[in-house]
Amino acid sequence: MRVNTRVVIDISSDRVLERECFKYDGAVEQCGRALEVVAGFATNPGATFTALTASTGQSFTVRGTDLNAKTWLLSEWAFNATVGELRIRSPRLHDFFSGIRNRITAAFSMPPNFSHVNDSYAQRLYAQDQLTVELTGGAAELDTASLLIGYQDLGGIAGRFIDMPTLLKVGLNVVTIEVTVVAVTTGNFGGAVAINSSIDNLIANTDYAILGGTTDTRGNAVGVTGVDFGNLRVGFPAEPSVRNLTANWFVQLADAFTGAWIPVFNSANKTQTTVDVQTNGSGGTYIINLNCVQLLAGQVPGGATGAAVQAGGGGAPTSAGQPG
């Protein structure tokens, strides 16, 4: 089909005067997807379950969607200085007494059980439902946790995501994007830098899929925010000890839940695409590598972002393909 990015019409004759568009052969359902990592913190929770304070600008209330469109809790994890528990409750889920409850290992920021990294089941969520997210932990520390929420169709958001078959079809070259982020110590996402702030090696007007990433410092979550994601933050755990699980985080997400969950951004938006970190009171400096694949031009719709996706952009004229 043809995706229009700009159309000028003479209203007196209904004649099209100007049209800017590109050809798109992917699945239509990919056009309305949204993905968001929501993080929060609890100060000195101790042995008592303590409700998390959401990071600045975020909320644990599920965003409002068309009631016919599905929303899922795709993953959850926590970063505690000492052993604790993470609990997620809602009257709309199984029960409001105990809910989804998992023991958290000290100083290890990965999903305890419920996650796509072991082909888990995605919990259905409901529009505008207020999730109660709580932690136990130490009595003299700031502990953190994250939820990864996926929206089938979020009104007003037109994130750019692809599935595994599309990645295999239109992928060209692997590229590493490296940034350095200095995290804040307040439990909020902080230290945001442009995705090209350290090494500006991106080809102009070119699409890139983010497969996942790695970090050299332990924290709670690495976030990537940009217009191509509907100005929402996609993200993965900031855990350096299991690089094999975070390096292809979004690929595993798309594979486990057989859908379009691999985020795509265009280099035309590189200065508006930022990387930040959410961690505990220790803060720290994070060198983050985002594992990306350059894509064949004009294959992923621009959605509401206005990304400058031009046919015949940088790179090979056809997909490099994959072994098979």
Q: Are residues 220 and 258 in the same domain?
A: yes
Q: Are residues 225 and 174 in the same domain?
A: yes
Length of the chain equals 324
Q: Are residues 99 and 216 in the same domain?
A: no
pLDDT tens across 255-285, in order?
999 889 999 999 999 999 999 999 999 999 9
Q: Are residues 147 and 216 in the same domain?
A: no
For residue 318, pLDDT beyond 90: no
Q: Are residues 38 and 124 in the same domain?
A: yes
Average pLDDT over residues 100-127: 86
Q: For residues 134 and 111, give the distance between their C-alpha atoms in angstroms, rounded to a whole number.
A: 15
**9: number of CA atoms within 13 Å, CB side?**
7
Residue 23 domain-assigned (yes or no): no
Q: For residues 1 and 78, give the distance between their C-alpha atoms in angstroms, rounded to a whole number.
A: 42
What is the domain extent for residue 191?
A: 158-295
Q: Are residues 106 and 185 in the same domain?
A: no
CATH no. for residue 75?
Answer: 2.60.120
| Total structural domains within the chain | 2
Q: What is the pLDDT of residue 44?
A: 96
Q: Which of these ranges, 6-20, 159-173, 191-205, 228-242, has the smallest mean pLDDT?
A: 6-20
Element (H, E) at 178: strand 171-183
Q: Is 15 helix (H, G, I), strand (E, B) or coil?
A: strand
Q: For residues 303 and 155, give the distance between their C-alpha atoms in angstroms, rounded to a whole number.
A: 12
Residue 301 domain-assigned (yes or no): no
Residue 173 domain-assigned (yes or no): yes
Rounded to the nearest 10°, the torsion over CA 78, 65, 35, 135 is 0
For residue 310, pLDDT beyond 80: no
Q: Is 93 helix (H, G, I), strand (E, B) or coil?
A: coil
Q: For residues 105 and 266, give the distance between their C-alpha atoms in angstroms, rounded to a whole number.
A: 37
Average pLDDT over residues 7-34: 57
Q: Are residues 201 and 280 in the same domain?
A: yes
Distances (CA, A) of 102 to 87, 286, 295: 7, 27, 38
CA 38 vs. chain centroid, Å, equals: 10
- The band of 67, judged by pLDDT with boundaries at 50, 70 and 90, is confident
Q: Which of these ranges, 83-92, 222-231, 294-303, has the smallest mean pLDDT?
A: 294-303
Q: For residues 251 and 212, give the distance between their C-alpha atoms in angstroms, rounded to a whole number.
A: 7
Q: For residues 269 and 179, give the distance between their C-alpha atoms in angstroms, rounded to a whole number.
A: 16
Q: Are residues 187 and 289 in the same domain?
A: yes
Q: Are residues 188 and 283 in the same domain?
A: yes
Q: What is the pLDDT of residue 305?
A: 37
Q: For residues 36 and 226, give the distance between their C-alpha atoms in angstroms, rounded to a whole number.
A: 11
Q: Are residues 289 and 163 in the same domain?
A: yes
Residue 18 domain-assigned (yes or no): no
The mean pLDDT of the chain is 87
Residue 20 domain-assigned (yes or no): no
Strand partners, 42: 143
pLDDT tens across 172-217, in order?
999 999 999 999 999 999 999 999 999 999 999 999 999 999 999 9
Q: For residues 182 and 175, give the distance between their C-alpha atoms in angstroms, rounded to a whole number.
A: 23
Q: What is the pLDDT of residue 39?
A: 98
Residue 29 domain-assigned (yes or no): no
Q: What is the pLDDT of residue 316?
A: 46
Q: What is the pLDDT of residue 323?
A: 63
Average pLDDT over residues 30-50: 90
Rounded to the nearest 10°, the torsion over CA 73, 58, 292, 312 is 110
CA angle 205/206/207 to nearest 5° reads 130
Q: Which of these ranges, 71-85, 205-219, 309-323, has the smallest mean pLDDT?
A: 309-323
Question: Which tokens in the block code for residue 254?
Answer: 């798309």
Q: Are residues 220 and 285 in the same domain?
A: yes
Q: What is the pLDDT of residue 299?
A: 84
For residue 248, pLDDT beyond 60: yes
Element (H, E) at 293: strand 284-295
pLDDT above 90 coverage of the chain, percent: 73
Average pLDDT over residues 212-225: 98
Q: Are residues 170 and 284 in the same domain?
A: yes
For residue 59, pLDDT beyond 80: yes
**201: number of CA atoms within 13 Å, CB side?**
13
For residue 121, pLDDT beyond 80: yes
pLDDT tens across 139-149, in order?
999 999 999 99
Question: Which tokens in the block code for residue 300?
Answer: 């992923």
Residue 311 domain-assigned (yes or no): no
pLDDT tens across 284-304, in order?
999 999 999 999 988 887 643
CB 144 within 8 A of CB 283: no
Residue 322 domain-assigned (yes or no): no
Q: What is the pLDDT of residue 307?
A: 41
- Of residues 10 and 81, more confidently modeled: 81
